[in-house]
Amino acid sequence: MSNHTPVKTIEWVGDAGGSARIIDQTLLPTALRYLDIVEVSTMWEAIKVLRVRGAPAIGIAAAFGVYLAVRDSTAQDTAKLLGEIDEAASFLATSRPTAVNLFWALKRMQKLAARHAKLVDLGVPELKALLLAEATAMIDEDNAVCRSIGAHGAALLAKNSLNESINILTHCNAGGLATAQWGTALAPVYVAAEQGRTVHVFADETRPLLQGSRLTAWELHQAGIPVTVITDNMAATVMSKRRIDAVIVGTDRVAANGDVANKIGTFGVAILAKEFGIPFYVAAPLSSIDMELASGDLIPIEERKPDEITNGFGRRTAPIDVQVFNPAFDVTPHRYITALITEKGIIRAPYNETLQSVMSEQGGKVNEHGE
């Protein structure tokens, strides 16, 4: 592998009695610390407080959480264990509301358990082993999906670059830290770099939790990819100076009409890109596409605690008791999106038709991979 390989975000360490190892992203960029999680409650907390974050990584973490919840179960039959699995899935589903991958992964684990629990010759130990194998398989599947998104996206970048160096702007973190390793929005960057092309990334700081400056800049720097951090309100100036060839962002959920939910501030970036004639791409694994929601208006938007804004990182920056509005995500209407970059290729408008066609090819359901 080249020196442009990103770090692993989540993996299983050891045998059946081992642990789910994650990077504690709340400590980045000042400290790289791994957490070995052995209890479902600890996994729920890790998802809730963003120790692990990014829709694909959340899904994998939740799958491991289901296994951890029942690993030490004393259930004597699979029917009893099945009830405990459903209980664990319901608990983990309360951690965060917006990323569809979380619920998709939990349903995948529940369906696996329900299907195998019907087999008379399969006992509790075997069902537990199947749960761990399923969660672990999601990592390999996620890596394959992200690498495919990277290949399709890298081909797009070659067409859109007017300069020898390809200049990308991204918002928040949809890199390796948001998946098992390779990322979605940053996967084209890593693949292009592997191909020997010069890629430079402008990383929006991404208020209020600074995922762009803390996480995207950190992982790109670790991988040897040139990166420049800008505050969110500098994007228009950078675009006006023609320093951006394309915008690539990730997504937590795509509605059936192509509307996209992503980190708060994405909508504004999309409007700016349209104003300056810059392609705006969304890296969207099929697992992030929710055909049950007709439009982005129906996507539940998580609202987070006020102190993330008023007292972020330990320093008060607003008056005490001032009112605060702190949505974690916004929805970008499909009319601002140039194309979706998926593992199956590039999807363009009219999204109501193209998304339906692609998802129908998948049997009318989300692709069976672990994001």
pLDDT at 364 over 70: no
Q: Which two tokens stand for residue 82?
A: 């099945």
Residue 5 lies in a domain: no
Percent of the chain having pLDDT more than 70? 95
> Final residue of a domain: which of 110, 141, 172?
141
- Average the pLDDT over 178-199 and give the result: 94
Sheet containing 260-263: which strands, arranged edge to edge? 289-290, 253-255, 260-263, 329-332
Q: 269-317, pLDDT tens digit by residue?
A: 999 999 999 999 999 999 899 999 999 999 999 999 999 999 988 899 9
Question: Do 98 and 218 lie in a common domain?
Answer: no
Which residues have a Cβ under 8 Å from the Cβ of 278 and sit 6 or more positions away?
169, 239, 244, 245, 246, 247, 272
Give dist(CA 49, CA 209) in Å, integer: 11
- Average the pLDDT over 148-177 and give the result: 87
> CA distances (Å), 141 to each of 9, 60, 81, 113, in order?
14, 10, 26, 19
Q: Which two tokens stand for residue 204?
A: 């929006």
**Residue 333, Cβ density class (10 Å: 0-12 exposed, 13-18 middle, ≥19 buried):** middle
Question: Do 262 and 290 lie in a common domain?
Answer: yes
| CATH code of the domain covering residue 302 | 3.40.50.10470
Q: Report the length, in residues, of the chain.
A: 371
Phi, psi dihedral angles at 23 (to 5 degrees):
-80, 130
> Final residue of a domain: which of 121, 141, 161?
141
Q: Which two tokens stand for residue 365?
A: 């359901």
User: What's the domain count of the chain?
Assistant: 2
What is the pLDDT, as a whole number, of residue 339? 98
Establish whether 252 is a catalytic residue: yes
153 neighbors 195 (Cβ within 8 angstroms): no
Q: Which two tokens stand for residue 138?
A: 């999601």
Q: Which of 252, 259, 290, 330 is catalytic?
A: 252
Residue 300 lies in a domain: yes
Give dist(CA 286, CA 283) in Å, integer: 10
Question: Do 180 and 208 lie in a common domain?
Answer: yes
| CATH code of the domain covering residue 43 | 1.20.120.420
For 299, the domain range is 152-361
